[in-house]
Chains A and B, each alone.
Chain A
Amino acid sequence: MLLSQAFFWMVPIVALFSYCMLMLFFSMSQKDKHIKLFMSVLGALIIWTASSLLMKMEVYPGGLFWNRMMVAGMVFVTFSLYIFVVNFAGAFQLSKAIQWSFLAAVALTINFMGLAITKVEVVKNEIMINGYQYLAVDFHYTLGPLALPMYLLMFTMVTAILVIAKKHSDEQGNSKEGQIRLVAIGALIMAIGVFLNFIPAVGKYPVDILGCFINAILITIAIFKNRMLELRFMATRAIIYSILALMITTGYVMVVINAEKYWGAQASATPFLTIFLALLIAIVFQPLYRLSGSMVDRFFYKTDYARRQALRDFSVSISNNLDLDIIAKNLVEAVQYALHPKDVLIMLKDKNKENYSVFATSSQLFKPDFQIQAENPIVKWFMNNDAGLSRSEMHSQNLFKAMWEKERKEISDLNVDVIIPIKSRYSLIGMLMLTRKKDNTAYMLDDLDLLTYLGTSSAVAIDNARLFAQAQSEAITDSLTQVYNHRYFHKALAEQVESLGSAELSLLMIDLDLFKLFNDLYGQYEGDKALIEVAAIIKGIVGANGIVCRYSGEEFAVLLPNHDTHRAYQVAEKIRIEIQKRFFNMNDVTQRFLTASVGVCTYPHVASNALELLKRADLAIYVAKNNGKNQTVVYTPSVESDNDSQHLGSSKIVEKSANAATIYALTAAIDAKDHYTFGHSQRVADYVTIMASGVGLDKSHISMIRDAALLHDVGKIGIPENILTKTGILCDEERDIVNRHVEMSITIIKHLPSLNYVIPAVLAHHERWDGKGYPRGLAGENIPLSGRCLAIADAFDAMTSNRPYRLSLNVGIALNEIEKGRGKQFDPLLANLFIRMVRDGTIDVERIMNMSRYSEASNMRAYY
């Protein structure tokens, strides 16, 4: 076939086929305004090309009809291309569009009225070339009276398209990456093709069709390569694969046919041929098909490919992962790979459930100190919306009018373009923030869909990871104080000893002094609060330098890696002093009081392994307790030997004797001030000691109550003598002063840490069972047992003693009074016990009174 003949037929056929295929692709794609307009251009091109082809084929009703259809197609193409270009360039104006529609309608009318082309003749010549005979087909047109104006009109329209395309191509600069430039070039080529058509020597060939075809190809390239229209194919992949399969099958069939032609004559070759072809398919065509498929994916669906890849990788990575850091990292990577934003930030809800903070970013150098408050409109927006939030929505939606300027500025400074919610079980657990894309293009709906999907899938993983981390943390955290628990302490101790090797590791054992009494006095709730505060003090001082654990009830352990004994001692003292400051220097006597004894031991100097370290720190704390509490003792071998010699019993004796001396001094002071009080305290101590035995308390508890009884009125030292010895009835003011003796007692005792165990009883000895007592108005069993015992003994002795303002009551009457006070002033059970013990002689009132008199006579008696 002659080249010119091939050109004559092949150009329109190939062009028509391509247009139809493109039309098919687009019709099955998601369409926006631009795609719809481009489809109208394609439709017009199809009319033009098909009419041209049908004219050449001399199909019924003949050349003139198809010529007019072809001209109509040309008019349609110029008009629809004009509309496409002005729309795409953003220069659409309705008035101009109406003008052009009118002119196009005029052109069509001229055409169909036969005023442009009046006659078309087909001239066929047979020519011989290289011995082959070919049929050459030429067309001769007879122009009508309005042919020239119509062509001028079309010329004007095409020129207008070129001008607009050129103008906007220059204006857009880099922002659209020359997208429209391709369209401009296409339009120019089409125009050249159309005008070449008017030159007879060239016009006999379908140069106009070729121009149009190249134009369509350029637009299509612009679409695919530059993602000009952001096509989102739904079903076209199937079509592309089908065409690919068809092409490969055609190739395969051609190979088979030619092979059969060549070898077909040789029957013996048939089996070999079959095997060869089968192998050919297996070895060449199958991989070729796959390779082609992959290339199609990468070229035509570049973005989709990246998205699918990102999604697949992300799904795989998070499916079995419970590490929050890894999940966040994978999420950032997936977003970066799929959408190429400049920066990605993952914001997660803080543990306190209030604010959202930056958890991970796309760059190690970029971690802004940025928070989104729970009241921020962004958070409120996501309460009701699951889809992404764009910057433009932040400007346009009413809710964001409530945004603070600071919040607006923060988002603006970060250049955040899109925010995606990370929601799990309807709760917003985090947010994904993306800045603008690297190519400066905007995020499209499909991008937001993908991000929403990533947000949703990561939400579950993040939630799971958080729950897992929480469970892990809870397993090793003390729920009350939020420091590590006993279990973790042992693990950490072993790990530290192993990992530090020969480096130093100090262990502090911190035990709160008399914490049980604190609990008795102020209740479990206050006790818990104190523990939380103490834990906070220790954590605050230790910081990141060590590991803080709650070892047991009121005992904390602190591991200090790389701390020698001296540094560890300093830390211990800081902790001890801070606890004392916080709990012991309160002005109000009813405030809490707590001190701590600390034992320090350092590995490897004085302990060769973890167990030894623990045991020796424990020993040090024991010594601290025995030495009067509220002190830090560093373990040295001498501590151990001293301790061995003292042993447990002897240390108690030492402590007791120290306390006895103090009590002696205090009671002597009372005696000097008010002799009655001195005797009264002794008697109350005797009564209450017997009574406490009757209650079944252990020896140490009985001893504590006795000490409390001896000191319960020590505060009277501070009451003026004239009031103490007044014979008449006390006035209100004087009564107030007398009542303050309880507080004064505590004021005195609290400065003696070794005696502070008596405080609960002393503080409570004027409380009443019905809650009407003082100073704290406690009621029922909220009053410490020791206090309740003391109250009965105190009242009994007061009634049975001579006072300046009245004579003593006899024992029977006093017991009746106590009986009357049961359930009101006194604990009914204890009151009954006391009455029974007096009546059955267990409490020998007379003896105790005599002893007291004897003691008074001898001025003082020894207690121990």
Chain B
Amino acid sequence: MTNLTVAWMAIPFVLGFIIYLIPQTARFLALGVALLSTGYALQVFFTASPVEIQLLDSFGVSLAVDQLSGFFIITNAIVTAAVIFYCWPTGKSAFFYMNAVFLHGSVNATFICADFISLYVALEVISIASFLLMTYPRTDRSIWVGLRYLFVSNVAMLFYLVGAVLVYKAHHSFNFAGLEGSPPEAIAFIFLGLLAKGGIFVSGLWLPLTHSESDSPVSALLSGVVVKAGVFPLVRCALLLEELDPIVRFFGVGTAVLGVAYAVFEKDTKRMLAFHTISQLGFVLAAPAVGGFYALTHGLVKSALFLIAGILPSRSFKELHYKPIPTSIWVALIVASFSISGFPLLSGFGAKVLTSKNFLPWQVVGMNIAALGTAISFAKFIFLPHSKDTTESHSKKVQWGFWVAMALLLGGLIAANGVYYQAYTLKNIVKPLITIALGWLSYWFIFRKLNIKLPRTVEKIDHLMGVMSLTLLLLFWIVWTRSHFSILF
């Protein structure tokens, strides 16, 4: 298993360079990498005990592979494969596929590493690869959006580095387990880095612009898997150390409510999806023990939705009401929206039930509000008009790659039902149906007519940096008061 893991981790980077040297092979090699990861993830699921690997003696790289990583890895594999199929007929250059493969490899690396420095390296490679993907169109806007992303994430990672060295100072080791007994400022610095990188709570407000202004396949990759790279270490730490668990859960609830509050008022399809990503990451964090399954369903559904949003005739919901979309696309849109609202028969339902079983009592209210908000925001998609006439001039031409990607992602959603089939009891089925019905009603009678435009001032780069310092203070205060209490009692 050790050799297999190391080989699997190194192969994307080797193949990435080969792609650039032999551009004709780009699409095949990129697809091969995704298939390899699928195989590896299945292998992880069938290995009963978690694998711990320590490379190069005690100060070397430490890796940990378990079921949780398996879920994240398979999400990454399926989403990457779908995006490659989507791009297959579009004539993207080898440079695009090279970066997609690098991104895939580095995201995989974050899902198995168990020490702060390997994590740092993997996260920084992710920043670079996603910057290059975002700026692929070479327009001024895409360059600015990419620069902004790189700037925010690099500053966050500098804070993270300070936290990492504080952990080392306390334990002479960079291992995740070293967070226990580290000074509160170490935890605050590291969490700030991960929260900003993962797009969580107020420090994640860079995310909507970045995800909505990128190309749709790139948005699908970013929203489907890349943000999970920041979330996964938080989940890992929460599972490893009991005292961090409430902090992670708190940020989970906070981000779930914040994201959905923006999403219900949003009038732009891609921005709504991006805000909704912020909210859904909260569900992953709110119940760390079962976060893997939720991350899988969210990754699949969100990348499907971004790919669909890319081929809709317009980006504004208002205009979409006058431009009917082809029925075939509408069906795909409906399946994805139903899954994310938690409708039975799709795996979004199983994931929601499983997650809500693991909530603590104080989380339930917040998360129910978030689930209701999800139903409201996706009612915007569900009630869009559609027509059989596909020859309309303003609907963009749909290529075969799109349908293969949809088959893969939506098929995955249906197949993933098998992971938690115990969810299908009468009581479990009724609750999401009520939530969805309430959501649709309130959409139809209230939110459809509302015309509130939330200010976008907080998304300016100066404010993003300022909010980072506030988050740092908040984190430090939370960690410090908690450690204080544990001394008292």
- Do chains A and B stick together as partners? no
Which residues does B use to contact A, with CB under 8 Å?
none
